[in-house]
Amino acid sequence: MLIKKMFSIMILLILSIVLTSCAGSREISELAIVTATGIDLVDGKVLLTNEVIKPNANPTKGENNGTSVLYLQHEGDTLFDAIRNATLTFDRKLLYSHNEIYIFGEELAKRGIGDYINFFLYDIEPRESAFMVVAKDAKAYEVMGINEGLSATPGKYLELLIENHKYTSKTRSLNINEYIKYYYQRKTPVLGVVNREQKKFINHIQAEGQSDHRDILNVEGGAVFFEDSLIGYYSGEEMIGFNFLVDEIGESLIVFEVSDEFTNNDENYIATKGKYTVLEIKDSKTKNDLIVEDGKINLTVDVKLRGVIGEDSKGLDFRNLNIVKATEEACSNKVKEYISQTMDKAQKDLKVDTFGVDTIFHSKYPEEWKEISNDWESIFPEISYNINVETFIIRTGLLDMPTNVEKGESNAK
C-alpha cells in the first residue's frame, strides 16, 4: 500500500515538472519579435527585410525618435532559408507569430509569388490573417521604416493604414488566407498596395542641410494579379468601383455633383457656392447576375446603397423631396461611373476578370462553363454589362440645408 502511495506521489511530481511546458521553451529574451516583413528578389536570391521590435526601447514615439525597431536584411534561397540565415549575424531567433504585414517588392510580384508564400502556410508560426501588400514601383525594403502616424512602429503604422481601407474603399485589405482562397477560386487576386511619397514638413525646425520634405506611406490603389504574378494596378477610384463589384465596399464616401437645376436661387447664396455633395455609405449590397442570349454574355450589376449626407457645398435644400431624389440619382450615377471605369480597365487594359464573374457563370451555367472555362480570359473582355444603382439617403445629418445658403421661404427651384 505504501509503495503504491509512493509511486503515485512520484508520478504526480514527475508530471508536475513535465507539464509546466518548459520543455523546449523559447524565452522572450532569446527571441526577436517581427512586426513587418519585406520580401524582394535580388540576383535570384530572396532578400528578406524584417522589422524587429527593440525590447528595451521606450515604445512612446518621439521619445526614442522612432528607434523602437530594428531592420535586418538577410538573403537565402528560400524564405525559410533567409529567416534562418538571420541567426548567423543577429543574436536572436526571429519570431513571426506577431507579424501582421508582408510586403512584396514589385519586381518579385511581377515574377510571381506563388512559390514563396508556401512558407506562411507550412509553418504554424506565421499567421494566416497577416496582410499582404505590394510595394508599388519599389523594392519592399524601400517602403519600410516609415512611420508618419501615431503608431509605435512603422509596421503598425502600415497595418493600420491598411485596416483603414473601409473608410475610403480606395484600397483593399487582403490577408494570406484570403489571397489563397481567391487565388484558387478566381486566379486573379487583388492585393493592397503601398507607395512611398514625399510631403512637406509642417511645424518642424529644419536643421542645416536637412530636407524640407518627409516620407509618408500611401496605400491608395490595388495590385492586380493574374495567377501569382502582378499584371497591373487599379487606381484609388477604380478600387471604389472594384469594391462595389465584389461587394466589399465599406463606410466610404461618394463625392458627386448634383445638376445645377436643383440648386437654390443665386440670390439666396450668402457664401461661395461649391460643386460637390458627399454621401457617407452606411450599407451597400451588390448583386451580380449573368445572362447568355444568342451566345452573348451580359452582366447585370445591381447595387443598392443607403447612406447619409455628410457634406454639401452646393447648397441643396433637403427639405424638398424632389431634391433628395435628384441627389440620390446623382449619387447613383457617380457609382455607375466608378463601376464602369473599373470594368473598362479590367476588360480593355488588364484583360482579366478580377471580380469573380467566372464563378457566377460557373454557378448559373455549369454545363456551358465546362466548355468555355479554359477560354474565359479571352471571353471576359467581350462581355457586355449594365449597371443599376439605387441610392437611398436615409439621413441628412444635423442640417437640412448647408450654411452657404440663407434659409428663406421655399427656396428650391
Partner 1 sequence: MQNEKIPTRQLIGFFIVSRLSFSISNIAAMHVPPYNQDQWIMVIVSAIYIIIASIPLLFLANRIKNDTVKDFMKSLYGKTISKILGLFYVIYFIIQAINILTLQTELVTTSILPESSNALVTTLMIIVCIYMTSRGIIVIFRAVDLFVPIIYSFLIVLILLGVNNVDLSLFSPVFVDSSLLELNKGAIMMASMYNDIIVIAMLIPELENKSISTKAFFSILIVNIVTLNIIIIVTQGALGIEYSRHSLFPFLIYVKLIDVANIIERIAAIFVLMWLIAVTSRINITLYLATKIFRDIFEKEKDDKLMLFVVSVIVWLVSVAITWVRPVVGTREDLNSYLTIIFVIFIIVIPTITCLVYFFKRKSINKSDN
Residue 190 CB, shortest distance to partner 1, in Å, is 16
Binding test (CB under 8 A) with partner 1, winner from 63, 77, 115, 128: 128
Q: How many angstroms separate the CA atoms of 120 and 180, rounded?
A: 11
Give rounded-to-5 percent helix, strand, coil for the chain.
Answer: 35, 30, 35
Q: Does 95 bind partner 1 (CB under 8 A)?
A: no
Residue 305 CB, shortest distance to partner 1, in Å, is 20
Nearest CA to 312 out of 284, 271, 341 is that of 271
Q: How many angstroms separate the CA atoms of 323 and 258, rounded?
A: 9
Is 23 or 398 the residue whose CB approaches partner 1 more closely?
23
Residue 175 CB, shortest distance to partner 1, in Å, is 8
Residue 253 pairs in a beta bridge with: 280
Is 122 or 201 the residue whose CB approaches partner 1 more closely?
122
- With b meaning 16 or more CB within 10 Å and e meaning fewer, what string describes 178-213? bbbebbeebbbbbbbbbbbeeeeeeeeeeeeeeeee
Binding test (CB under 8 A) with partner 1, winner from 229, 300, 359, 404: 359
Positions in 153-182 near partner 1 (CB under 8 A): 177, 180-182
Size of the site for partner 1 (CB under 8 A): 24
Q: How far is CA 344 from CA 170, 330, 337, 348, 355, in A?
A: 17, 21, 10, 6, 12
Positions in 182-211 near partner 1 (CB under 8 A): 182, 184-185
Binding test (CB under 8 A) with partner 1, winner from 1, 2, 88, 124: 124
Residue 32 CB, shortest distance to partner 1, in Å, is 17
Is 233 or 242 the residue whose CB approaches partner 1 more closely?
242
Positions in 276-305 near partner 1 (CB under 8 A): none
Q: Are strands 45-53 and 69-76 parallel, antiparallel or unpaired?
A: antiparallel
- Our CA dihedral for 218, 222, 225, 228, rounded to 10 degrees, sits at 40
Q: How many angstroms separate the CA atoms of 191 and 172, rounded?
A: 6
| Cα 343 to the center of its chain, rounded Å | 19
Q: Does 362 bind partner 1 (CB under 8 A)?
A: yes
Binding test (CB under 8 A) with partner 1, winner from 58, 67, 210, 363: 363
Site string for partner 1, 7-36 (x = CB under 8 A): -----------x--x-xxxx----------
- The one segment of 45-53, 337-345, 359-367, 390-398 that binds partner 1 by CB under 8 A: 359-367
Residue 165 CB, shortest distance to partner 1, in Å, is 16
Q: Are strands 131-135 and 190-200 parallel, antiparallel or unpaired?
A: parallel
Residue 205 CB, shortest distance to partner 1, in Å, is 37
Q: Does 129 bind partner 1 (CB under 8 A)?
A: yes
Greatest Cα-to-Cα distance within the chain, rounded to the nearest angstrom: 106
Assigned C-alpha cell, 217: 506611406
Provide the CB-side half-sphere exposure for 109 (13 A, CA): 30
Residue 182 CB, shortest distance to partner 1, in Å, is 8
Residue 34 pairs in a beta bridge with: 52
**Contact, 322 vs 269, CB < 8 A?**
no
Assigned C-alpha cell, 232: 497591373
Residue 113 CB, shortest distance to partner 1, in Å, is 16
Q: Which stretches of the chain bind partner 1, using CB under 8 A?
A: 18, 21, 23-26, 121, 124-125, 127-129, 177, 180-182, 184-185, 359, 362-364, 366-367
